[in-house]
Each structure stands twice: as structure tokens, then as C-alpha cells.
Amino acid sequence: MRLCGLTGGVGMGKSTAAGFFLQLGARVIDTDDLARELVLPGQPALAEIQTVFGRDLVAADDRLNRSELARLVFADAAARRQLEDILHPRIRERWQAQIEGWRQENIPLALVVIPLLFETAAENHFDKIICVACSPAAQRERLSARGWKLDQIRQRIAAQLPVEQKIARAHFIVWTEGLPAVHRRQVGQIVSNL
């Protein structure tokens, strides 16, 4: 099995690229999805988040107030590290278990989408690293379209390794400006090379 890590900056098109890999026959697991699962009502990670950050982060329906937690952790690097200490080991355990399942199935190509791939020192788990990227202007425009304010955008970008460093450390780049058909063609070329 060829195992690839897919990374890139926030708002640069990782999910879109992952969808193209899926269409072309790769198996894909996204660590953002795993993080969302880990904070569902009744999950141990949610209880730990409540203990560390306070009960008021959980609504009456036992769901995490994700926007309030994001506001807290992206304004405070120490708080962000505390959250990462709660979630990252659990996330890694889940994607590694999925990879083992794929190995047993003899899946030819698999990808793990990890926004903080280099930041969490996960690169050694993969045969190849793919970085999804776009210009800073396009990134800001996409994040603004999500309804994020300028300070939120700055905080999220600052919390990640600069995309130029991710590009320099990757084996393949998918440049996501332009038409989706162009992105898909780039993904197809990468699949052919793998």
C-alpha cells in the first residue's frame, strides 16, 4: 500500500483535493472529521475538555460549543497546546488503526488528511507527502467567505507552519487556484506517479 499524508494551510483546499483522490480510487481519512467525532457527547475527550476549559463550553444538549473553544484556543497558544494534548494522541491512534485495516485489505493507495502534519511530526508515517496550497490572497478570500473576521484568519494562519515550509517539505504540490478541473488533473497526475 502506498500511504500518503495530505496537508496544507487552512482554507487552501485540502478537503476538495481529498475528494478528488477518493474519486480516483484512494481511501481517505480526514483528521478534522476524527477531531469532530472525539468531541461528541459522551466521548472521554469532551469530558477532558470540560475539565480543562470549563463546563460553559458545553451547551444544554451536551454538545461542544466549537466556536467558543476556537475563540479561546486561537487567542492563547498555551490553551491551544492543552487542547492539542487532549486531541492529537487520540486522533493519531484512530488514523493509525484505520491504516492497519487498509493494510489488511491490501488497499493500493490511502491518504490521511492532516492539517498539522509537520507540526505534529507525523511525516515519518508516510511514503509521500502531498501539500495543497494557494496564494495568501486566495486563502484570505476563502476564509472570509466562511464568515471569519480578519483577526480570526490571522490567528488560524499563525497557528500553522507557513505554507511555504510545508511546500518545501512535500513530495507533491496541488495548487488550488483556478478551476476545479485543473485541481483534479493535478491529483490525477499524482495518482499516476504513485
Residue 72 is part of a domain; what is its CATH number?
A: 3.40.50.300
Express each pLDDT in 7-55 by its tens digit: 999 999 999 999 999 999 999 999 999 999 999 999 999 999 999 998 8
How far apart CA 68 and CA 71 sit, in angstroms, is 5
Express each pLDDT in 80-137 by its tens digit: 999 999 999 999 999 999 999 999 999 999 999 999 999 999 999 999 999 999 999 9
Nearest to 5 by CA among 131, 100, 90: 131
SS3 64: strand
Please give the grid coordinates belonging to residue 54. Answer: 470549563
Q: 66 pLDDT band (50/70/90 cuts)? A: confident
Beta-strand pair 109-113/2-8: parallel
Q: Do residues 4 and 128 touch, judged by C-beta distance below 8 A?
A: yes
Query: What is the pLDDT, as a whole number, of residue 159?
Result: 87
Please give the grid coordinates belonging to residue 187. Answer: 491529483
Residue percentage of the chain with pLDDT more than 90: 79
CA 139, chain centre distance (Å)? 15
Number of helical (H) and strand (E) elements in the chain, helices listed first: 9, 5
Residue 76 structural domain: 2-193
Q: 5 pLDDT band (50/70/90 cuts)? A: very high
Please give the grid coordinates belonging to residue 97. Answer: 488503526
Number of domains within the chain: 1
SS3 174: strand
Express each pLDDT in 145-192 by its tens digit: 999 998 889 998 988 999 999 999 999 999 999 889 999 999 999 999
Please give the grid coordinates belonging to residue 144. Answer: 472570509
Nearest to 130 by CA among 2, 1, 42, 8: 8
SS3 10: coil
Total length of the chain: 194
